[in-house]
């Protein structure tokens, strides 16, 4: 069974904390919807659920749990079973069967049967309640004692959930906090994480990508928590160097950093980028992700060479699944393939590739808050073009597996699986046998983006006549927030890269090599845009 926690992807960690902040961790604001559950004998009812269906300390209760805890909709034992707190109903969380029950019955609280976390369907999050947490701890201790006669503080006990403990400062840690005059707090004007990078000779293409990566929330959390366990020579591992780079960025130092070791490793592992000539920032991004991916390890300690079956941090964050449906025009048979991707390259109006005319306001542009009043092309326009069916023509006939003959066909791309970080590459540099030029067409992009209209599931719903494009405030699964924009100024032969990055929630800064200046949201949205980085607003950790 997998345990997941649904959290806001835009939250910023506040570490290290002050003494007062640490002491206040024990009394966070709770969920306002639990009061509806706290009636009559709610404590006793909750204890029974923990005893029988979560921790299961005795052999009898474990047998009962194994026999009775199945999804009442599909009969599955796995898929993260949750139990409704209001009635005897077990259902899958992963397949959203428990969501359907909660919506139809208006039962807003459910409990994870593996880890004991309580989920609120109104808050769309796992919640904390002091009284419920105390009951959970007491029942877990009872289960441990029934199994071993003592409380195990160091190991997971099969059948009674995984041990976890909230962080509380020790006396020694409190003493260090009291006597440490350099401790830092995250405030509205905090500059921790902001640091310029020295240009080492036409290396702005590298600096702009480094700024985007160091402000990617999950990547930041991974490297700042020392998750990388290196088995390579430390002086040749790009992941080790990135880890050191994150430490430098979030150390609080304000002087510009000189990334000479990073540049050397890039030249070593991506030789096509070696030298002091101007390079493409998009090409560097893909090369950097590729090398980081190859240097990372999966959970089994093996090298992650297959992007389709890899659990490294790069694939967890950046890899999505692109579905390609090729439809035979004769028998209408469909051949489907799904390929991994790290970014999506989008054609622009003004390129030699015909840009299909799109009607203003249709198929999601209004949903994503983009305006056509000025006649500007929007990011949604580009995505609609990217996911439209394309007739392959008579010169590209395929052999249909259905009618066993070469036939004309149409091809359509949609998103089967969305990545945590979606990177959109606007194809501004055109290279062909006849011309080499930069496309300066302005593309409007939103602060918040809903990818639902471009999902494979939306296409299937439209084909079945069930798809309705409505704004659902409770469905945040496919919604993204902008957190970085890479721009290119100048021409194809002579240009310069800069990056806008989001610090905390709504503060934006412009990173121009060693110079960091504050920017407005208007500055960001009015920029030309070359690489756009969006982060999922809500995540489900598996």
Query: DSSP 3-state assignment of 423?
Result: strand
d(CA 524, CA 501): 9
Is 496 an annotated catalytic residue? Answer: yes
Contacts of 503 (CB under 8 A, 6+ apart): 193, 194, 215, 509
Q: Considering Cα of 110, then 112, then 118, then 123, what sign does the dihedral take?
A: negative
Query: What's the CA gap between 183 and 201, in Å, rounded?
Result: 36
Q: At what angle do helices 281-295 and 260-269 cross, to 10 degrees?
A: 80
Q: What are phi and psi of 399, to 5 degrees?
A: -85, 115
Cα–Cα distance measured from residue 397 to residue 394, given in angstroms and rounded to the nearest whole number: 6
Q: Which of 33, 72, 264, 496 is catalytic?
A: 496
Is residue 16 reached through a cis peptide bond, with omega within 30 degrees of 0 on the bond before it?
yes
> Which residues have C-beta within 8 Å of that of residue 375, sequence separation ≥ 6?
none
Q: Which of 204, 240, 328, 400 is catalytic?
A: 204
Question: What would the two tokens of residue 406 be?
Answer: 């070469």
DSSP, collapsed to helix, strand or coil, labels residue 66 as helix
Q: Which residue has the tokens 């290119």?
A: 488
Tokens matching residue 25: 């961790």
C-alpha dihedral over 443, 448, 454, 455, to 10 degrees?
160
360: left (phi over 0), alpha (psi -120 to 50) or beta: beta
Please say if 204 is a catalytic residue: yes
**What residues are labeled active site?**
204, 496
């Amino acid at each position: 069974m997998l345990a997941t926690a649904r959290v806001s992807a835009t939250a910023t960690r506040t570490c290290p904390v002050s003494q007062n902040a640490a002491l206040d961790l024990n009394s966070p604001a709770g969920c306002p919807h639990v009061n509806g559950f706290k009636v009559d004998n709610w404590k006793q009812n909750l204890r029974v659920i923990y005893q029988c269906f979560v921790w299961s300390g005795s052999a009898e209760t474990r047998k009962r749990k194994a026999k009775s805890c199945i999804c009442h909709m599909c009969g599955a034992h796995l898929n993260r079973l949750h139990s409704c707190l209001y009635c005897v109903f077990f259902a899958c969380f992963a397949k959203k069967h428990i969501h359907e029950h909660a919506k139809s019955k208006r039962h807003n609280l459910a409990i994870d049967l593996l880890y004991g976390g309580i989920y609120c369907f109104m808050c769309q999050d796992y919640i904390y309640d002091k009284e419920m947490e105390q009951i959970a701890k007491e029942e877990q201790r009872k289960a441990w004692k029934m199994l071993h006669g003592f409380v195990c503080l160091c190991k997971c006990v099969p059948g009674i959930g995984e041990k976890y403990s909230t962080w509380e400062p020790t006396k020694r840690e409190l003493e260090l906090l009291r006597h440490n005059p350099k401790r830092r707090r995250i405030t509205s004007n905090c500059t921790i994480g902001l640091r310029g990078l020295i240009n080492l000779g036409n290396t702005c293409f590298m600096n702009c990508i480094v700024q985007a990566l160091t402000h990617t929330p999950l990547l930041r959390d991974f490297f700042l928590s020392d998750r990388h366990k290196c088995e390579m020579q430390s002086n040749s591992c790009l992941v080790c160097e990135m880890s050191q780079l994150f430490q430098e960025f979030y150390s609080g130092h304000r002087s510009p950093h000189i990334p000479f070791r990073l540049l050397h490793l890039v030249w070593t592992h991506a030789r096509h980028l070696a030298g002091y000539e101007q390079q493409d920032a998009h090409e560097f991004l893909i090369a950097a992700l590729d090398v980081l991916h190859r240097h990372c390890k999966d959970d089994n300690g093996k090298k992650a060479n297959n992007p389709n079956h890899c659990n490294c941090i790069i694939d967890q964050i950046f890899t999505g699944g692109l579905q390609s449906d090729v439809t035979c025009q004769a028998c209408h048979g469909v051949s489907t393939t799904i390929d991994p991707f790290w970014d999506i390259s989008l054609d622009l109006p003004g390129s030699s590739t015909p840009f299909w005319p799109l009607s203003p306001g249709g198929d999601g542009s209004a949903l994503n808050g983009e305006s056509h009043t000025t006649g500007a092309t929007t990011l949604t326009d580009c995505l609609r073009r990217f996911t439209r069916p394309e007739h392959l023509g008579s010169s590209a006939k395929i052999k249909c597996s259905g009618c066993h003959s070469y036939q004309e066909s149409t091809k359509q791309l949609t998103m089967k699986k969305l990545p945590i970080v979606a990177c959109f590459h606007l194809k501004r540099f055109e290279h062909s046998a006849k011309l080499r030029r930069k496309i300066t067409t302005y593309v409007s992009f939103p602060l918040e983006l809903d990818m639902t209209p471009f999902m494979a599931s939306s296409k299937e719903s439209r084909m079945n006549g069930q798809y309705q494009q409505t704004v659902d405030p409770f469905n945040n699964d496919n919604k993204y927030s902008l957190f970085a924009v890479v721009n290119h100024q100048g021409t194809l032969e002579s240009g310069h890269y800069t990056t806008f990055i989001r610090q905390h929630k709504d503060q934006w800064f412009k990173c121009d090599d060693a110079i960091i200046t504050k920017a407005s949201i208007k500055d960001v949205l009015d920029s030309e845009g070359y690489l756009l980085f969006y982060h999922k607003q809500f995540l489900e950790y598996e």
